[in-house]
Amino acid sequence: MSIDTFSRYFSTLTDPRQSSKISYPLFDVLFLSITAIIAGAEGWEDIEDFGETYLNWYQEKPLFPNGIPGHDAIARLISRLNPVEFQHCFIHWVQWVNERSEGKIIAIDGKTLRGTYDGKNRQSMLHMVSAFATQNGVVMGQLKTDKKSNEITAIPKLLRLLDITDCL
C-alpha cells in the first residue's frame, strides 16, 4: 500500500484531539489500524499487536518514532473520528484501490454485528449492510441500518455512495 496515496485520501480527516495532548499523529494511527485490519486484525488489541510486530516496517515509512500506542489509545482516537468524514475518505480511497485492481464483482450483504446484543430488550443492537469487492477482498463501504429488516432500504443508499459503474 502506498503511504502517499493513502495520505492523499485521508489527509482531510479532522483530528478530534486537543493539539497539546497528541502523542501519536492521527495519520500514523489510522494507517496502522487500516493496514492491520486488512491483514486480519479483529480488534484493538490485534491492531496493537500487529503494530508491535511490524514496528520496524512502520518506522521505515517513517511512522511511530516513539513506538506503537496501546490498544486503549487506538480505540479512543478511532472512536472519536467523525464517521461521515471517515466514510467519505474511506470510500474514495477504496474506489481508487478498486480501479487500480480492476475489481469487477461487488457483493452486498447485511450482517448483525457480534457483541451488540441488548440483553434488556433481547435483541441485537447493530445491523450493517456492506459492499464487498470480491476480487480484492476489500469492503468498499458500509451503512448502519435500524433493524435487520431495513437492509433492503439501506442497499440503495449504500449503492449511491459508491461509484460501481460497470461492476456486477
Give me 151's grid cell: 437492509
Three-class DSSP category at 105: coil
pLDDT of the residue at 116 = 64
pLDDT band at 168 (very low <50, low <70, confident <90, very high): very low
| Residue 92: Cβ within 10 Å count | 15
Contacts of 134 (CB under 8 A, 6+ apart): 103, 105, 106, 107
- For cell 518514532, the residue is 65
Cβ partners under 8 Å of residue 78, min gap 6: 29, 30, 33
Q: What span, in angstroms and rounded, lies between the C-alpha atoms of 62 and 160?
A: 37
Helices and strands per DSSP (H, E), number in the chain: 7, 5
Query: What letter does residue 150 receive in the DSSP assignment?
Result: G
Task: Give Cα 23 to chain centroid, integer Å.
Answer: 22
**Average pLDDT, rounded, for the chain:** 83
Give the global pTM.
0.64
Q: Do residues 127 and 27 make contact, with C-beta atoms less than 8 angstroms apart?
A: no
What is the pLDDT at residue 127?
Answer: 81
**Average pLDDT for 15-35:** 90
pLDDT at 89 over 80: yes
The per-residue pLDDT for range 93-136, each reduced to its tens digit, is 888 877 776 656 677 887 777 766 666 666 657 788 888 887 77
